Amino acid sequence: MRHPLVILHRWAGLFMAGFLFITGLTGAVISWDHELDHWLNPHLSQATASGSALPALDLARQIEQRYPQVRVTYFEMAAEQPGESQWFWVEPRLNPATGKLFEPGFNQVFVDPVSGAELGKREWGAVWPITTETLMSFLYKLHFSLHIPEIWGNDHWGIWLLGIVAILWTLDCFTGFALTLPARSRGEASSLAGDETQSRRTCWSRWAQAWKIRWRAGVYKLNYDLHRAISLWTWVLLFIVAFTAFSLNLYREVFFPLMTSVSDVTPTPFDQRTPNDHDDPIEPGVGFAEILVKAQTEARARGWDEPAGSMFYSPEFGLYRVEFFPAGDAHGAGGVGHPAIFLDGSDGRFMGDSMPWRGTAADIFIQAQFPIHSGRILGLPGRILISVMGLVVAMLSVTGVYLWWRKRLGRIKNPV
């Protein structure tokens, strides 16, 4: 049985190595994307005007008046901290002359919340050119999609590919673990058959060696020990990262249908709708101002004390989401988000609500996927841990390929 597992682990590892090396390194960096982005781009993140901030709805209207080819789709109601800018996510409108989307060349606009002056704009996730303004978003998008372009009208190929890699990685966690267990030779099994206690002690003694690293035993043995021992010490975390990567990348295609088939899941309005193609956006019938009033009414009816913290409109789903939280708390409890009201984009009718860490066991499990994957569920220590795990994943990819290469050289020099 061991030989088939070796073959599976070898070829699965070789297939995944390049992908995991990239996602490991990028994951280690993007755990700090917000802080690094602020540090790299103070001209976008810092606001200098003094006085009272303008209403976010007014700032959104100003942006749409300045750039009629785009629609504001997401913004927070206030800057995170005094002296910081406010940013607005925008998406292109349909060009009535061509029937296709405009190409504005940017999807984020930064403004001074007090004066309303534009501080800059950029294309989040741009492949080229890579500048200080686009570096962090380039790495972030590389992490979950590899920047694979749209093919046959679909821009999810990279997301799906990494989702498949994550499934294979999840399964390979068990294959790799099984291969660390000591294999007993036939002669040894025969000699120890009468002493089961001694047999168990021998096996445990051998397995204990698998957790150790021989730092001065040569390059090959060092790489072998690093690959095996670090995998064992971090096995639970590797499995968690692999599984949550699968659940996030293949959420709508595999994970959510799987969860609904085995447990009681409460779907959100987004889960209940089939999205339009990105090139066929749904024009809203009501605007942000009317939606805000309706959402605040629904929130008060539920006894929510927090103010409206952000507003989002999805042109693909034709839905609004209004989240409730104080300024500066964008990630919410454990990174899972905030209380939210969902409203239909055509007429503003109430479509549902959600509360973080509420619902069935399956609901909470689904909510926890991103907080666990990003480490935000544990706050700052969790983000540090995820950064370290990113480096571990990259190291395991390199050592795995090195071990295969050395063994291949050996087989070429000494063919059977």
Is residue 192 predicted with pLDDT exceeding 60?
no
Q: In the chain, helix, strand, coil percent, each to 5?
A: 50, 15, 35
* DSSP classification of residue 14: H
315, 281 Cβ separation under 8 angstroms: yes
Residue 190 has a pLDDT of 52
189 compared with 74, residue with greater pLDDT: 74
Structure tokens at 133: 């303004």
CATH topology of domain 281-358: Nuclear Transport Factor 2; Chain: A, (3.10.450)
Place of tokens 């292109």: 92
Task: Give the pLDDT mean for 318-331.
Answer: 87
Task: Give the residue-averaged pLDDT of 306-312.
Answer: 95
* Residue 348 in tokens: 């503003």
| Mean pLDDT (the chain, rounded) | 90
pTM of structure: 0.88
**What value does the mean pLDDT take over residues 355-360?**
88
Residue 416 has pLDDT above 70, yes or no: no
Residue 408: what residue type?
R
The ranges assigned to domains in the chain are 1-41+144-183+204-266+370-416, 44-131, 281-358
Confidence of residue 312 (pLDDT cuts 50, 70, 90): very high
How would residue 63 be classed by pLDDT, with cut points 50, 70 and 90? Answer: very high
Question: Minimum mean pLDDT among 111-120, 189-198, 303-312: which range?
Answer: 189-198
> Amino acid identity of 179?
L
Task: Report d(CA 179, CA 232) in Å as an integer.
Answer: 11
Residue type, 241: V
φ/ψ bin of 125: left (φ > 0), alpha (ψ from -120 to 50), beta (otherwise):
left
Band (262; pLDDT cuts 50, 70, 90): confident
Q: What is the pLDDT of residue 357?
A: 87
